[in-house]
């Protein structure tokens, strides 16, 4: 076989040992290798990846394959295998800093718009109910419930598509369809149309929530990955708060339909931004790179490890099946899914409680009652800004011997702090909401600890699950998303009746006491988490796979040293 010609020398070709691999941070291909929900993972190396990621800032956030899998192709001519070079401009880790910042900003803004649409609806509900002659508030609140359910359903369905087609096409199509589906909401002639279309919009919009964390992982080195995720999370975490603020002014001065028109304008801008972002998923980039070289040289030997087609239906089936298998068989997830679902439900109950307290009881206008959420916005920003401090606290904990990484329970330490802040803010709001003689500023300030606690819980509870379940993290987090969306979407329907029947005092007190009781969950896992993880069947399977691949990596290293 002849060596490559000069016209292809610009393409970086390396030995197969240097190849980065097939599994993204959001939904791993290795995780989807087998039709069985919990298949053996001994085919892929996790230990070697952890070591490399710590040592080399240019290591992609994918698993290192030490021997072939069914989703990869072992090249017959290793010297003709196409991978990234150290300074390869096509490697997303080598993108300029300004372009990485733009990419993270685009992902964050698009995610913000999708989540914003879930709560801006509540501001225009009075006008919509009057126009459609709807007298039952829980029925009108179905617009929020359907939207949350659509986000969970869409995440299950759309997550695998970025593994096959790349991230950029999924973003472009999904945000384009989201923008189009907002239009029928703005022109709807009845509530039924609004409910159905909002559900469909949430399904397609969920692609941003399911896949944009993967893009952030694609372009960020391990050193700055936590910071990049914190910056990205500003969008989806502030979206629920911005919804009633923007929606309140739109409804008061332009009418309820403009709560949709404004979202449509923002969604159009988000579509332009995500469509202008280059592809960041390494397997897709390398497949295209290999195809380009084959076309230029006429030599079919040029390949990447990802040339074998990935069955979309098999990916979809596994993506639909495994989250539920883990959710119903893993005791760790029983408790964490319950805890996060309770927190999520109480968070969305604020969008029922605040209008009742500030608009109905205090008599504020729609725009001013929307501004009441500014305290929650401040709490969200403060929580995200505290990431360097939280990271310092986490890194103080001892590392696990088998992985060399900080134990997942280190993340739970932050959740324990947040678990106190959340009921504190809830009870503070409850007992300053009425009577009206109590100054309104106290109710607004209560949103600072409440939202800060909620934000920290969402970030670090998810981090704990992801750290614990490794290759299964995408499925575990997807199951968590489904549970919290169903619980949150259901309880918000009861919120209207509960607050009117029990009064804001006692309804809010009940919610706060439930949160106090739930503090026991993170405390128990902080103290006993290690022993609980040792009893988990799925985690023991992962640990066994890591031990096997660590031995394989050591043997390969020894053989390589001997051959030299």
- Residue 372 placed within a domain: yes
Residue 99's Cβ-side half-sphere holds a number of Cα atoms within 13 Å equal to 14
Are 559 and 359 in contact, with CB atoms under 8 Å apart?
no
Which range, 74-78, 138-142, 310-314, is most confident? 138-142
- Residue 17 placed within a domain: no
Higher per-residue confidence, 154 vs 300:
154
* The pair of three-digit structure tokens given for residue 45, joined into one six-digit string: 């190396």
Tell me: the pLDDT tens digits for 110-159? 999 999 999 999 999 999 999 999 998 889 999 999 999 999 898 888 87
CA distance 474 to 159: 9
What is the pLDDT, as a whole number, of residue 87?
A: 81
Closest listed residue to residue 102, CA positions, set 267, 223, 240, 216 = 216
Residues 419, 211, 63, 90, CA torsion sign: negative
Confidence of residue 163 (pLDDT cuts 50, 70, 90): confident
**Alpha helices for 56-124 (secondary structure H):** 97-123
User: Measuring CA to CA, how many Å separate 563 from each of 67, 557, 558, 559, 560?
Assistant: 19, 10, 9, 6, 5
Number of domains in the chain: 1
Share of the chain above pLDDT 90, in %: 43
The SS3 call for residue 13 is strand
Tell me: the pLDDT tens digits for 353-388? 999 999 989 999 999 999 999 999 999 999 999 988
What is the pLDDT, as a whole number, of residue 290?
A: 83
Tell me: the pLDDT tens digits for 100-122? 999 999 999 999 999 999 999 99
Residues 550, 553, 559, 560, CA torsion sign: negative
Q: How far apart are the first and last CA of the chain?
A: 24
Closest listed residue to residue 298, CA positions, set 502, 44, 7, 67 = 7
Are 11 and 289 in contact, with CB atoms under 8 Å apart?
yes
What is the pLDDT, as a whole number, of residue 260?
A: 96
Confidence of residue 77 (pLDDT cuts 50, 70, 90): low
Q: How far is CA 14 from the centre of its chain?
A: 34
Residues 152, 156, 161, 164, CA torsion sign: positive
- Residue 435 placed within a domain: yes
The count of other CB atoms within 10 Å of the CB of residue 439 is 10
- Residue 413 placed within a domain: yes
Are 404 and 50 in contact, with CB atoms under 8 Å apart?
yes
Average of per-residue pLDDT across 35-60: 38
What is the pLDDT, as a whole number, of residue 222?
A: 75
Confidence of residue 11 (pLDDT cuts 50, 70, 90): very low
Give the Cα-Cα-Cα angle 300, 305, 310 (nearest 5 degrees): 100
Are 515 and 343 in contact, with CB atoms under 8 Å apart?
yes
What is the pLDDT, as a whole number, of residue 21?
A: 31
The count of other CB atoms within 10 Å of the CB of residue 551 is 11
Provide the 8-state DSSP code for 359. I
Higher per-residue confidence, 531 vs 104:
104
- Residue 294 placed within a domain: no
Nearest 5°: phi and psi at 165? Answer: -100, -10
Are 195 and 287 in contact, with CB atoms under 8 Å apart?
no
Confidence of residue 262 (pLDDT cuts 50, 70, 90): very high
How many H-runs (helices) and E-runs (strands) does the chain carry?
21, 0
Are 52 and 19 in contact, with CB atoms under 8 Å apart?
no
Confidence of residue 343 (pLDDT cuts 50, 70, 90): very high
Are 23 and 44 in contact, with CB atoms under 8 Å apart?
yes
What is the pLDDT, as a whole number, of residue 547?
A: 57
Are 379 and 448 in contact, with CB atoms under 8 Å apart?
yes
Residue 331 has pLDDT above 90, yes or no: no
Show the domain range for 400.
93-279+313-542
Contacts of 531 (CB under 8 A, 6+ apart): none
CATH of the domain at 112: 1.20.1250.20
Which string of DSSP letters, residue by residue, matches 299-349? -TT-B-TT-SPPPHHHHHHHHHHHHHHHHHH-HHHHHHHHHHHHHHHHHHH
Tell me: the pLDDT tens digits for 486-524? 898 888 888 888 988 888 889 999 999 999 999 999 999
Residue 405 has pLDDT above 70, yes or no: yes
Closest listed residue to residue 66, CA positions, set 563, 564, 545 = 545
The count of other CB atoms within 10 Å of the CB of residue 363 is 10
The count of other CB atoms within 10 Å of the CB of residue 1 is 9
Provide the 8-state DSSP code for 414. H
What is the pLDDT, as a whole number, of residue 375?
A: 94
Give Rg (Cα) of the chain.
25
Which range, 29-43, 183-197, 398-412, 549-563, is most confident? 183-197
- Residue 288 placed within a domain: no
Higher per-residue confidence, 517 vs 300:
517
- Residue 42 placed within a domain: no
Higher per-residue confidence, 471 vs 12:
471
Residue 181 has pLDDT above 70, yes or no: yes
Are 222 and 53 in contact, with CB atoms under 8 Å apart?
yes
Confidence of residue 301 (pLDDT cuts 50, 70, 90): confident
What are the beta bridge partners of residue 82? 13
| Mean of per-residue pLDDT scores for the chain | 80
CA distance 135 to 191: 12
- Residue 287 placed within a domain: no
């Amino acid at each position: 076989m002849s060596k490559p010609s000069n016209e292809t020398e610009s393409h970086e070709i390396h030995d197969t040992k240097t190849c980065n691999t097939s599994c993204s941070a959001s939904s791993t291909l290795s995780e989807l290798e087998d039709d069985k929900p919990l298949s053996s993972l001994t085919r892929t190396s996790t230990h070697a990846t952890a070591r490399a990621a710590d040592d080399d800032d240019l290591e992609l956030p994918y698993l290192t394959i030490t021997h072939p899998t069914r989703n990869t192709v072992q090249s017959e001519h290793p010297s003709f295998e196409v991978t990234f070079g150290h300074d390869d401009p096509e490697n997303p880790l080598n993108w300029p800093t300004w372009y990485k910042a733009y990419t993270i900003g685009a992902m964050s803004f698009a995610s913000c718009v999708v989540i914003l649409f879930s709560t801006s609806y509540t501001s225009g509900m009075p006008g919509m109910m009057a126009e459609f002659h709807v007298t039952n508030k829980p029925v009108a609140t179905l617009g929020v419930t359907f939207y949350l359910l659509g986000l969970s359903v869409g995440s299950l369905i759309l997550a695998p598509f970025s593994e096959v087609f790349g991230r950029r096409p999924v973003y472009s199509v999904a945000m384009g369809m989201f923008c189009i589906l907002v239009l029928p909401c703005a022109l709807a002639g009845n509530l039924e149309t609004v409910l159905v279309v909002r559900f469909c919009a949430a399904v397609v919009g969920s692609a941003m929530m399911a896949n944009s964390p993967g893009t952030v992982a694609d372009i960020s080195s391990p050193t700055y990955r936590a910071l990049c995720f914190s910056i990205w999370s500003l969008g989806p975490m502030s979206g629920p708060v911005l919804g009633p603020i923007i929606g309140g002014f739109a409804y008061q001065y332009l009418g309820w339909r403009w709560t949709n028109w404004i979202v449509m304008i923002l969604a159009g801008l988000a579509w332009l931004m995500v469509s202008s972002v280059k592809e960041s998923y390494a397997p897709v980039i390398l497949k295209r790179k290999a195809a380009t070289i084959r076309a230029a040289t006429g030599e079919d030997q040029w390949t990447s490890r990802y040339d074998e087609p990935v069955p979309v239906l098999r990916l979809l089936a596994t993506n639909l099946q495994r989250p539920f298998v883990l959710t119903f068989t893993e005791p760790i997830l029983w408790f964490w899914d319950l805890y996060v679902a309770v927190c999520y439900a109480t968070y969305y109950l604020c969008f029922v409680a605040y209008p009742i307290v500030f608009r109905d009881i205090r008599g504020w206008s729609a725009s001013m009652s929307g501004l009441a959420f500014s305290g929650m916005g401040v709490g969200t920003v403060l929580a995200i800004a505290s990431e360097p401090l939280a990271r310092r606290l986490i890194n103080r904990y001892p590392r696990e011997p088998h992985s060399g990484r900080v134990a997942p329970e280190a993340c739970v330490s932050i959740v324990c702090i947040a678990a106190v802040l959340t009921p504190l803010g809830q009870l503070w709001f409850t007992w300053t909401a009425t009577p009206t003689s109590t100054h309104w500023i106290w109710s607004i300030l209560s949103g600072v600890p409440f939202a800060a606690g909620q934000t920290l819980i969402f970030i670090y509870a998810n981090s704990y699950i992801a750290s614990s379940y490794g290759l299964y993290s995408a499925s575990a987090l997807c199951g968590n998303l489904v549970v919290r969306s169903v619980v949150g979407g259901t309880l918000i329907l009861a919120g209207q009746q509960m607050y009117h029947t029990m009064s804001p005092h006692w309804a809010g007190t009940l919610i706060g006491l439930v949160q106090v009781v739930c503090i026991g969950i993170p405390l128990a896992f902080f103290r006993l988490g290690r022993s609980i993880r040792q009893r988990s069947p799925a985690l023991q399977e992962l640990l066994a796979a890591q031990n096997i691949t660590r031995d394989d990596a050591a043997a390969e290293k020894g053989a390589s040293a001997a051959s030299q």
